[in-house]
Structure 1
Amino acid sequence: MSTAIVVGAGIGGVAAAVALQRRGWQVTVLERARELGEVGAGISVWPSAVAVLEELGVKGVEKASVQSKPAGIRRPDGRWMVGAPELGVELPVMIHRAQLHDLLTAEFGPAITVRTGYDVRTVTQDADGVTVNDELRAELLVAADGIRSAVRGALYPQYKGPRYSGFTAYRGIANVDIDDGGGETWGRGQLFGAARLIDGRFYWYATANQAPGTTSEPTVFESWHDPIPQLIAGSEQILHNDVYDLTLPLVPFARGRIALLGDAAHAMTPNLGRGACSAIEDAGALGRHLGAVQGGKDLPAALMAYDAERRPATTKLVKRSRALGRLAQTENRLLSTTRDAVVALGGKLLALRRK
């Protein structure tokens, strides 16, 4: 049986472990944290990622239901710019990160071993395999250790890595009874979004332009339209993190017997809601390309094929997400007014075209 080491047990790492297990690999997952699990708030799982999860045998990620309440993009005073039906997009499944993580790890079988509290200090490779900390060895290593990936840094020491987006993010889960379909509200240099999770709670997120490392609270949004104040007030915990993505061009996702996956390969801003989805799709692609490999000379070639599939696709997402973030976060009054008018007009034209 071929052997693999997965560094990092977030959504991407555990999805990769399940994908490799289903292809007959023996997998060791190394997690720096003392306990296996996932923190954070909600994430959107788009149809392409749902399809991969179904291929991996993951149960419990339901198809997105038809939106029964008004949803779309609004202004801070509550006026609609465009409704979701006018955009004509298929809705994602909204789920808490911890719940999705639990669904993935529920598929762990005897072929997967997990070691928590394990700090990866050194990674070396040769023609036959990869060695971690001079003690663990496998034929393949998958680096799913996040945006500040130590493995990526060792492979590409000259790469600039994370780039500050210019805005910070707040996130929360509100267990409130409100009659709202969610969506996003765009202000000047500020944005607020909300969506109902499949367990009935509301996930919300907000972004604001500010210097990195600034301590702040989302108080400005408390004056925005309902139900934004209720969502903030109804959250027991509010997470606050500055937003980074990776510098372009992205480095190759494969080098020898090492593959980069998820944020370690292509961290992007959250504006498209595709970060976790892309990690899941990485895992599915990696499993497909390695399915016929049994640790021999074909493994590096399979990883190059994985890179050829995933790097161009995720590079486009990084670019588009960054561009949308700049548009949504603009502070210029003229540009924001023009943006709102174009979005509203575009929605009307799309609705007419669909009719």
Structure 2
Amino acid sequence: MDQHHAVVIGAGIGGLTAAAALHRQGWAVTVLERSASLEPVGAGIALAPNALRALDTIGLGAPVRELSAWQGDGGVRAPGGRWLARTDSAAAARRFGDPLVLLHRATFVDLLLGRLPAGTVRTATATALVRPGTQTEPARVATPDEEIEADLVIAADGVGSRVRGALFPGHPGPRFTGFTTWRMVVPGLGLRFPPHETWGRGLMWGSQPLKDGRVYAYAGALAPAGEREADERAGLLRRFGHWHRPIPRILAAVDPAAVLRHDVRAMTVPLPAYHRGRTALLGDAAHAMPPSLGQGGNQAVEDAVVLAHRLAAPATPVPEALAAYTRDRLPRTTEVVRRSLKAARLTTLGSRPAVMARDAALTAAHLLAPGLALRALDGVLDWTPPGGPDVA
């Protein structure tokens, strides 16, 4: 029987996970990436228990768990340093069966690339969908050099997905949420501190130590769409430089050129489906969400292994497998987007009375109902993949 061929558009986390999962099942896979290289920008990714169990299905769960750096407590703080709510890694592992693993995106990308044959990924290759395919006709994509037919096209081309626009031209797509985010990775400073998020008035900061000694930091603020500063680090110092330790020291060590800023857009109106014909949408292309629950990359990993699971049955036509993928993923990811938007509104409240009420509620809930923050993640982090792990 002829080997099936899949084209993956986009070599981000979701696209590479899908490629690895399909390659494991015997598919020939071509990954087309428009960027000139696969060197990920300076950012971290938090892989939650749901994604770790998904990675077990392609044999990557154990290597990722070995990179876990979170040991001990952490939680949410006020700008002056007062703890509003605390939890610890052991409690998270007990509740959800696994730790939260924070690592540099480059490390995770290298692990995924190690599961693919040499030459699978082609960089500096802009790609357009020519036709999505049908029950009887293959899909077709075009690059500057050629057109490629495939049994399957996976569009993992991000929040601004051109493929999504081609499949669903009448859909409004992701909408601006009203706030912007910054991300940065800081070299090791010899700092020892519990991981935390700090919530202020229309502002949020996160400091997360990585296992190699570096620090992944991120921030959010209410801001107009498209607003930029000549020196983003200076803007961060103005907003956060007077907050509690170690935030000022982290900011002092940031290379201004390494600060990434992005307006946050989310799929507030769900798509009608995550597929058409032989073409599937995956990750941010399908269900962009705020980073408030840290689930963007995790949901892309889930998408990838569920899609591969649905395509595993050789007798099932690809369009039928993709319809099952939509049925599996659309309700779940719509709910995760909704919960992420709710969390984003909570972390970026702008009025002083609302912030005071929020902080008081967090403190009271922590004192009266320890573990409430973890329970709020029930239904998200406790997901398990179909088919069970295959860790060989």
TM-score greater than 0.5 by the shorter chain: yes
Q: Which amino acid aligns with 1:54?
A: D
The SS at the match of 1:148 is coil
1:48 shift after superposition? 1.5
| CA distance 1:80–1:207, shift in 2 (3 Å) | same
Is the Cα–Cα contact under 8 Å of residues 172 and 235 in structure 1 kept in the other structure?
yes
The one of 193, 199, 202 equivalent to 2:215 is 202
Partner of 1:148 in structure 2? 160
In 2: Cα distance, 1:263 partner to 1:231 partner: 29
Runs (4 or more) in structure 1 with deviation over 6 Å come to none
Distance 1:67 1:279, change over 3 A: same
Pick from 130, 134, 140 the counterpart of residue 131 of structure 1: 140
The CA deviation at 1:238 is 1.5
Q: TM-score, normalised by structure 1?
A: 0.93
Q: Could you say which residue in structure 2 is the equivalent of 1:73?
A: 76
Secondary structure of the 1:249 match is coil
| C-alpha deviation, 1:38, in angstroms | 2.1
Residue 84 (structure 1) aligned to one of 73, 84, 87: 87
- Cα drift, residue 352 of structure 1: 8.5
Q: CA deviation at 1:65?
A: 5.6
Which is worse superposed, 319-328 or 51-60?
51-60
Residue equivalent to 2:58: 56
Q: Does 1:185 align with 2:204?
A: no
Query: What residue is the counterpart of 2:261 in the other structure?
Result: 240
- State the Cα distance separating 1:350 from its structure 2 match: 2.3
Report the Cα distance in structure 1 between the residues aligned to 2:371 and 2:35, rounded to whole angstroms. Answer: 52
User: Which segment drifts farther, 259-268 or 172-181?
Assistant: 172-181
Tell me the equivalent position of 2:386.
none
| d(CA) in 2 for partners of 1:330, 1:86 | 27
Aligned to 1:104: 112
| Structure 2 counterpart of 1:330 | 349
Deviations 1:205-236 (A, max 9, x none): 01111101112321210000000111111222
Q: Cα distance, 1:66 vs. partner?
A: 5.7
Tell me, in whole angstroms, the C-alpha distance in 1 between the residues paired with 2:241 and 2:263: 20
Distance 2:267 2:180 in 1: 16
CA RMSD in angstroms comes to 2.0
Aligned partner of 1:22 in structure 2 is 24
Equivalent residue, structure 1, for 2:289: 268
- Using the aligned pairs only, state the percent identity: 41
SS at match of 1:71: strand
Matched residue of 1:240: which SS?
strand
Unaligned stretches of 5+ residues in structure 2: 94-98, 230-234, 375-392
Partner residue of 1:163?
175
Asked whether the equivalents of residues 20 and 115 of structure 2 are also in contact (C-alpha less than 8 Å), the reply is: yes
Give the TM-score taking structure 2 as reference length: 0.85
Q: Does 1:285 find its partner at 2:296?
A: no
Aligned-residue offset at 1:332: 1.0
Could you tell me which of 235, 245, 250 is aligned with 2:271?
250
Q: Secondary structure at the match of 1:223?
A: coil
User: Per-residue deviation at 1:87?
Assistant: 11
Matched with 2:337 is: 318
Equivalence for 1:218: 236
1:335 Cα deviation from its structure 2 partner: 1.0
Q: Deviations over 1:137-192 (max 9, x none)?
A: 01111000001111110000011112111111111112211121121111000000
In the alignment, what sits opposite 1:36?
38
Rate the CA distance shift 1:100–1:87 in 2: closer, same or farther, 3 A.
closer
Q: Hey, what does 2:321 align to over in structure 1?
A: 302
Which of 116, 121, 138 is 2:123 aligned to? 116
**Number of residue pairs aligned between Structure 1 and Structure 2:** 350
| 1:83-141 per-position Cα deviation (integer Å, ceiling 9, x unaligned) | 1149943441001111101110011126x722222111342023321011271001111
Distance 1:40 1:318, change over 3 A: farther
- 1:170, 1:324 → 2: CA distance? 17
Give SS of 2:305's match: helix
Cα drift, residue 249 of structure 1: 2.1
Which amino acid letter does the alignment assign opposite residue 259 of structure 1?
Answer: A
Deviates more, 1:161-170 or 1:114-123: 114-123
